[in-house]
Amino acid sequence: MRLATLRTPKGTRAVRVADTGYVDLGADDVGALLADPEWRVRAAAGEPTYELAGAELAPVVPAPGKILCVGLNYRSHVLEMGRELPTHPTLFAKYPEALVGGTDPIVLPPESDAVDWEAELAVVIGATVRRADEREAEAAIAGFAVLNDVTMRDWQYRSVQWLQGKTFEASTPFGPVLVTPDELPGGVRPRLRLTGSVDGEVVQQASTDDLVFDPVALVRYISRILTLRPGDVIATGTPGGVGHARKPARYLRPGARLVTEISGIGRLDNLTVAEETTGGDVPLDAPATSEPPV
């Protein structure tokens, strides 16, 4: 099953993606749909209401209650950096204002001159869980989507806390659809090919089965800290190939095309644009450091 949040002239709607169109599921967005314990039954019924042609999709969950992100979570990436594999996930947060749709512009703020890409698999929660065991964690995963954790490196490394570089507004494409585990090889521990490219050049490639902490393990771990609820999102981390680790470093500039694709799920295709601001130039007073990217 493939679900999406469709933009319509009357607002957004949760839809199922069918071969011949989009089926309206009677909710404003996928997050609202998942709040219904019977969402799987609702999502399986109905006939197409909207045409596929010309459709515009919002972030698959436009306003998650929580967006939890994981750093340093690909074995190959950790080892190539000369580090030992972590024993616990490295967690940080992002806020809904950062999210954009799968074809929306990514806004480059004037405050940063070191905007980097991070292709990621996103987990979407479909049930309320606290201190989940293995079975509960598996059942709580509604599905998977594509996300790019676009990061302002100069802001990320202003302090030991990464949040300020991770959640600039309109910076994080998320979508285009949610795909339920039954449609993916590996199910709740999917084995998928992840690819990121900038202006047609492949810059990141990995398999999601290289994750140190797989989606089920992340749900179990995070749910020990706080309750996970329907519509919450877990961004599972990025593999090697980010711009900040290159010699010399490479960053996104206005007009760049960032494509993020995961086999079996879909593709984000976003152009970067400079943010329009008033009040004059903003000084770039915090150059990027040599800290390792996450």
Q: Where are the domains of the chain?
A: 1-58, 61-274
Confidence (pLDDT) at 100: 98
Q: How far is CA 68 from CA 84, 128, 144, 176, 289, in A?
A: 23, 15, 14, 19, 24
Report yes or no: 98 and 183 within 8 Å, Cβ to Cβ: no
Per-residue confidence of the chain (294 residues) as pLDDT tens digits?
999 999 999 999 999 999 999 999 999 999 999 999 999 999 999 999 999 999 999 999 999 999 999 999 998 778 766 788 899 999 999 999 999 999 999 999 999 999 999 999 999 999 999 999 999 999 999 999 999 999 999 999 999 989 999 999 999 999 999 999 999 999 999 999 999 999 999 999 999 999 999 999 999 999 999 999 999 999 999 999 999 999 999 999 999 999 999 999 999 999 999 998 775 555 555 555 556 666
Gyration radius of the chain's alpha carbons: 18
* 3-state class (DSSP) for residue 261: strand
Confidence (pLDDT) at 135: 98
Confidence (pLDDT) at 77: 74
In degrees, rounded to 5, the angle at the alpha carbon of residue 292 between the alpha carbons of residues 74 and 169 is 85
- Alpha helices, DSSP H only, in 183-278? 215-222
Residues 6+ apart with CB under 8 A from 9: none
Confidence (pLDDT) at 280: 53
Confidence (pLDDT) at 285: 58
Confidence (pLDDT) at 78: 81
Confidence (pLDDT) at 207: 97
Report yes or no: 27 and 3 within 8 Å, Cβ to Cβ: no
What is 61-274's CATH superfamily? Fumarylacetoacetase-like, C-terminal domain (3.90.850.10)
What does the alpha-carbon distance between residue 209 and residue 206 come to, in Å, rounded to a whole number? 9
For 281, the token pair is 């130039």
Residues 6+ apart with CB under 8 A from 265: 144, 145, 146, 177, 179, 184, 192
- Alpha helices, DSSP H only, in the chain? 30-34, 39-44, 75-80, 134-140, 153-156, 163-166, 215-222
Confidence (pLDDT) at 202: 98
Phi, psi angle pair for 195, to nearest 5°: -135, 135
